Amino acid sequence: MSIKTFYFGRRIILATVLALSASLPCTGALPSTNVFEVRPTVGSDSNGGCFDSAGTGTDYSQQNSAQYSFTDLVIAATTTNVTSVSHSFVAADQGNCLHISAGTGFTTGWYEIVSVATGIATLDRSAGSAASTGGTWLEGGALATVSQANSLVVGNNLVWVKASGTYTVTSSMTVNTDSSSSSHGPLTFEGYTSSRGDGGQVTWTTSTNSIDLVDFASANNVAFKNFVFSSTAVTPGNGAQASASGMSYAVSFYNCSFTGFATAILGNYNVNWAFDPLLVVNSRLYQNTVGILNSTNTYILGSKIDSNKDQGAEIGGGQPSNWDVEYTIFYDNGTSGTFAGLDLSTGSNNNGTFVIIDHCDFSSNSGDGVKSSGLVFVFVQASNSIFDSNGGYGFNGQSGSGQLTPFLLTSNAFYNNTGGKSNLPLGVNSITLTASPYVSIGTNFALNSTSGGGAALTGTGFPGIIPNAGTGYASVGALQPSSGGGSASQHGYPLVQ
């Protein structure tokens, strides 16, 4: 049986298992509406740590210390009911998570207080044996580690992580949650600085050799937002990897950065598994050995991939896939040799792969800006992109035996590539620049106003006109000017720096 057939066989089996398991009752788990709070260095993994977003009480998880911490929990005759002499439960407790950490006859773990009546808290499930006394319990207060929250989550949960300190780890965290329920909400880990939702980033780092920060094992619908992932290890592992236990689906990174890793995001189907699809949005991957390697469907939007030792991003082998790369900058990759910014030629068994490149910058890479030569039955098209100052071709699309020829569609710009513009026909409305088009190459890729440089790209992108629809003013390149061509007002995506 081939790898490809084996893969589809496993995916069909997985889908069948998920369909069957969806009808089974879920026991021993907190609800999908649960929201966790993690505060590195100031929280505690003994705290309650979470609150049900559907709860009507007071959320005590958004504080460093537990609201209540006692050793006198009592289980009533109905084992979902508990009482405490030290604290008579009230309506404000409803929705909070209660951590039972010790006690003879108690089942330790995290519970939700689903209702309160006359000092009695009703939990979401049995807390142990009836009439047990002396249970150690904590309610409220943030957790200290993302890994503790990850061990408790179910599909669709939200884990807030506050930048209360650097989150330093010595081992990998494995995400294996399936969040593909009917609500379609991903399991989300989201950083913030001062208040939830402010977009501030949290630093998650390691100095331990050969460990990944996050491994994915048959995870489904998981998002990470607002994290600075880094490794200072002498022999670094990977930032995020689809591990050997199964394909992971719909994994997203928003406003994240990765630095110091072997491969920042690795989904190599020929070795382990892959991400299908992988989404990287508004993120930066820099100073790794490889930025991204993924063997299946990949979407990169509004990001910067720079100063990686080998490829900025590369397609892995083993599966047909679709890659869509838009409004993204590939700069100064291949510092250890002549590697491409975006390398589409390294995969094998990729028949049927389709790659779209639109509004991107490929600048100062040691090899080609884009390399797609050697692929078999792979279709690549590029438009509205800048290829400048690369050590090889701007676009290397030499056809291999039986290959579908990649092509440069329209409105691509070329400047100062050592190997030449391209070994393919340049397409419609190709632009030859006579000066660098950027405000400051490497740090500010906004278009300058230099004649023959940025000025030649402002308002000249595709589509300028859509038949019977109107006139537009798209510009060439990853960052769109605030105005250009008539009354246009276009804005690019902010990049993590």
Q: Which H helix or E strand runs over 3?
A: helix 3-21
Q: How far, CA to CA in Å, does 37 sit from each of 48, 89, 163?
A: 9, 22, 11
* Per-residue model confidence as pLDDT tens digits over 361-378: 999 999 999 998 665 556
Mean pLDDT score, 165-192: 93
DSSP letter at 449? Answer: -
pLDDT at 429 over 50: yes
DSSP letter at 143? Answer: B
Closest listed residue to residue 81, CA positions, set 109, 47, 123, 111: 123
Query: What pLDDT was estimated at residue 408?
Result: 80
Query: What pLDDT was estimated at residue 482?
Result: 81
Q: Are strands 202-206 and 167-169 parallel, antiparallel or unpaired?
A: parallel
By percentage, how much of the chain surpasses pLDDT 90? Answer: 76
Query: What pLDDT was estimated at residue 485?
Result: 42
Q: What is the CATH number of domain 157-465?
A: 2.160.20.10
Mean pLDDT score, 71-80: 98
Q: How far, CA to CA in Å, does 186 sit from each of 15, 23, 27, 74, 255?
A: 18, 20, 21, 36, 16
Mean pLDDT score, 161-188: 93
Mean pLDDT score, 347-356: 71
Cis peptide before 463 (omega within 30 of 0): yes
Query: What pLDDT was estimated at residue 20?
Result: 29
Q: b/e for 403-435, b at 16 or more Cβ within 10 A?
A: bbebbbbbbbbbbbbebebbebebbebebebee
Who wins on pLDDT, 473 or 313? Answer: 313
Mean pLDDT score, 138-162: 97
Mean pLDDT score, 325-339: 96
Query: What pLDDT was estimated at residue 27?
Result: 41
Query: What pLDDT was estimated at residue 16?
Result: 29
**Pairwise CA distance, residues 299 & 285, whole Å:** 14
pLDDT at 184 over 90: no
Q: Which of 75-79, 157-161, 343-347 has the lowest mean pLDDT?
A: 343-347
pLDDT at 486 over 60: no
pLDDT at 4 over 50: no
pLDDT at 326 over 90: yes
Query: What pLDDT was estimated at residue 277?
Result: 95
Tell me if 74 sits within 8 A of 135, measured CB to CB: yes
**Pairwise CA distance, residues 18 & 106, whole Å:** 32
Mean pLDDT score, 29-54: 96
- Where in the chain are the domains? 44-139, 157-465
Query: What pLDDT was estimated at residue 351?
Result: 62
Mean pLDDT score, 28-48: 94
Residue 345: helix, strand or coil by DSSP?
coil
pLDDT at 448 over 90: yes
pLDDT at 19 over 60: no
Mean pLDDT score, 310-326: 89
In the numeric block, the tokens 């929250």 are attached to: 149
Query: What pLDDT was estimated at residue 8?
Result: 29
**Pairwise CA distance, residues 471 & 463, whole Å:** 8
Query: What pLDDT was estimated at residue 1?
Result: 26
Query: What pLDDT was estimated at residue 404?
Result: 53
pLDDT at 217 over 50: yes
Mean pLDDT score, 73-86: 98
By percentage, how much of the chain surpasses pLDDT 70? Answer: 87
Mean pLDDT score, 385-406: 79
What are the two backbone dihedrals, phi and then psi, of residue 131, each rounded to the nearest 5 degrees?
75, 10
Q: Which of 79-83, 203-207, 277-281, 353-357 has the lowest mean pLDDT?
A: 353-357
Q: Which H helix or E strand runs over 241?
A: strand 240-242
What's the mean pLDDT when you consider all of the chain? 88
pLDDT band of 186, cuts 50, 70, 90 = very high
Who wins on pLDDT, 398 or 383? Answer: 383
Query: What pLDDT was estimated at residue 311?
Result: 96
> Is residue 120 exposed (0-12), middle (13-18) or buried (19+ Cβ within 10 Å)?
middle
Q: How far, CA to CA in Å, does 496 sit from each of 200, 285, 408?
A: 11, 9, 29
Who wins on pLDDT, 325 or 352? Answer: 325
**Pairwise CA distance, residues 150 & 58, whole Å:** 23
Q: Which of 15-24, 30-39, 395-404 has the lowest mean pLDDT?
A: 15-24
Residues 299, 303, 307, 311, Cα dihedral to 10° = 10
pLDDT at 453 over 70: yes
Mean pLDDT score, 444-453: 96
Kindly write down the DSSP assignment for every residue of 81-118, as one continuous string: EEEESS--B-GGGTTBEEEEEE-TTB--EEEEEEEEET
